[in-house]
Amino acid sequence: MQLIFEKHKQGRRGFCFPGPDVPLAKPLAAKYCRSKDTHIASLSELDVVRHYTNLSRLNFSVDTNFYPLGSCTMKYNPKFTERIAAFEGFSNLHPLLPQLAGGGMLAQGSLEVLYETEKFLSEITGMSAFTMQPLAGAHGELTGVMLIAAYHKNNGSRRKYVIVPDSSHGTNPASAAIAGYQVIVIPTGKDGYMDLEQYKKHLNNDVAAVMLTCPDTLGIFNPHIKEIADMAHQVGALMYYDGANLNALLGKARPGDLGFDVVHINLHKTFGTPHGGGGPGAGPVGVSEALVDFLPIPRVVRRSDATYALEYHRHKSIGYIAPFYGNFGVILKAYAYMLCLGKDGLIEAAELAVLNANYCQVMLKDHYDLAFEKNCMHECVFSAARQAKNGVHAIDIAKYLIDKGYHPPTVYFPLIVKEALMIEPTETESKETIDAFIEVMIEIAGLAKDDPIRVKQAPLHMPIKRLDETKAAREPNLRWKP
């Protein structure tokens, strides 16, 4: 496929300017003029339209195909939330308005959305209050760890460590490190849970927090959560809940009841707002009563006359962590999604997410090795170790799936599973779609035995065939040059 620069034809134009109808100004001094050619392609309007239309037809998305990318929760987002976010009353509101004198009264609807969303999330997670500011999940994590640091500092305690299991999301240790903590990684035991003996060994008065993803990245719910939380609290450490997988627990268990003190939620994963493409995302952070004072400013409050306002004077607050009030459009879509599904709908979404993943697990477990022999939650993790013996690796299976019109599952993550294939069908897919996917997965397992070369050649039907990923990483070619 040609780049637009390669389609360039000297002298071809999409538009011709008419001659000037006013006297020409003096030409700019040479020092203000470009000395090198810009190499902007010269093309007709039709050339440009065809180029980009054809490029757009190569796009792959949830709106076109099944996308079972584990840990990422690429579920379908109902379109009505887009319509609501586009309402002029919301989309034309200037974010400074509530900060101007009297402006808050002109933004009551938006302030109410922020306030109500916070109340919903608090109820769902069992936390006391939320900040809606963080702009993505990882940003929420950093905010959460900063809140933990502020809490310990306020108690006059200087703690050095944050504990994470080796099955945690990679962003957990990164967030803890950026917030200034040293990270202690606890291995996973043979039973698929964090090794409790190792955990006890490393837990002491210098530990600021324990960060857990629940269900974890193996798609497994850890039955020892309460025990882990109690032990952490005994030494004064706080429990951090990475809510990336909250979509499995909605209405079934609340992090607050399990003993967590700080929670972040990925609205785009659990509450049906767009995901991928780098954002905009939203990673609200909820806290228990003891940490409410440290939340970022401003806070949205409901006054006694039932109006809403922004509150800035909170001297223990960690301050601003993002401009204004977060990605408001995303928060609004999540709010609309929650209102539409209601309590029963949200619970059913979680049940279907878990049911679909378990269905995939049961249907595929004779064909691929299960990472751990347990019922899964919202995602199931296989190992392609059996196929790898014939030279068919997780990456080859992924490439073959692309040929068949499926986005591959997550591969080589979690790192603790060899040749990992992590499948998350989500609640939004029908049985027919999941069955068709399972059929292809079984076909690949068969080919891995009988005709491994066929799998290793994939993709054969894509515009771009097998990429040399090693060369792309070692010698990245990031820019077209004339």
**Site of interaction with another protein (CB under 8 A):** 412-413, 415, 418, 469-470, 473-474
What is the rounded (10 degree) CA torsion for 120, 121, 123, 124? 110
Residue 46 or 473 having the CB closest to another protein = 473
Tell me the closest approach of the beta carbon of residue 55 to another protein, in angstroms: 26
Tell me the closest approach of the beta carbon of residue 185 to another protein, in angstroms: 9
Q: Could you give the strand order of the β-sheet that contains 285-287, starting from the edge strand earlier in sequence?
A: 129-131, 285-287, 262-265, 238-243, 207-213, 161-165, 182-186
- Cα distances from 132 to residues 86, 147, 446, in angstroms, run 20, 14, 48
Tell me the closest approach of the beta carbon of residue 395 to another protein, in angstroms: 8
Query: Which residues make Cβ contacts (< 8 Å) with residue 298, sequence separation at least 6?
Result: 310, 311, 312, 325
Residue closest to 285 by CA, chosen among 259, 267, 255, 263: 263
Give the whole-angstrom CA distance, residue 27 versus residue 2: 37
Give the whole-angstrom CA distance, residue 274 versus residue 78: 9
Tell me the closest approach of the beta carbon of residue 286 to another protein, in angstroms: 30
Which helix (H) or strand (E) segment holds residue 285: the answer is strand 285-287
- Cα distances from 313 to residues 67, 201, 293, 295, 377, in angstroms, run 45, 42, 11, 12, 42
Tell me the closest approach of the beta carbon of residue 326 to another protein, in angstroms: 30
Tell me the closest approach of the beta carbon of residue 416 to another protein, in angstroms: 11
Tell me the closest approach of the beta carbon of residue 56 to another protein, in angstroms: 28
As given in the structure block, the two tokens for residue 401 are 């799936």
Residue 187 or 446 having the CB closest to another protein = 187
Residue 152 or 374 having the CB closest to another protein = 374
Tell me the closest approach of the beta carbon of residue 171 to another protein, in angstroms: 13
**Three-state secondary structure string covering 404-426:** CCCCCCEECCCCCCCCEEEECCC
Residue 233 or 418 having the CB closest to another protein = 418
Residue closest to 249 by CA, chosen among 380, 167, 353: 353
Residue 118 or 216 having the CB closest to another protein = 216
Residue 72 or 338 having the CB closest to another protein = 72
Length of the chain: 482
Question: Pairing state of beta strands 262-265 and 285-287?
Answer: antiparallel
Q: Label residue 34 left, alpha or beta by phi (over 0 means left) and psi (-120 to 50 means alpha).
A: beta
202-205 long-range contacts, CB within 8 A, separation 24+: 202/161, 202/163, 203/163, 203/231, 203/232, 203/235, 203/237, 204/235, 205/159, 205/235, 205/236
Tell me the closest approach of the beta carbon of residue 474 to another protein, in angstroms: 5
Residue 211 or 285 having the CB closest to another protein = 211
Residue 170 or 276 having the CB closest to another protein = 170
Tell me the closest approach of the beta carbon of residue 387 to another protein, in angstroms: 15
Tell me the closest approach of the beta carbon of residue 413 to another protein, in angstroms: 8
Residue 141 or 419 having the CB closest to another protein = 419
Residue 40 or 473 having the CB closest to another protein = 473
Residue 304 or 470 having the CB closest to another protein = 470
Residue 116 or 369 having the CB closest to another protein = 369
Strands (E), 119-253: 129-131, 161-165, 182-186, 207-213, 238-243
Tell me the closest approach of the beta carbon of residue 173 to another protein, in angstroms: 10
- Cα distances from 111 to residues 55, 116, 138, 426, in angstroms, run 40, 9, 25, 31
The separation between the first and the last C-alpha atoms of the chain, rounded to the nearest angstrom, is 17
- Cα distances from 22 to residues 7, 17, 19, 237, 285, in angstroms, run 35, 14, 9, 73, 58
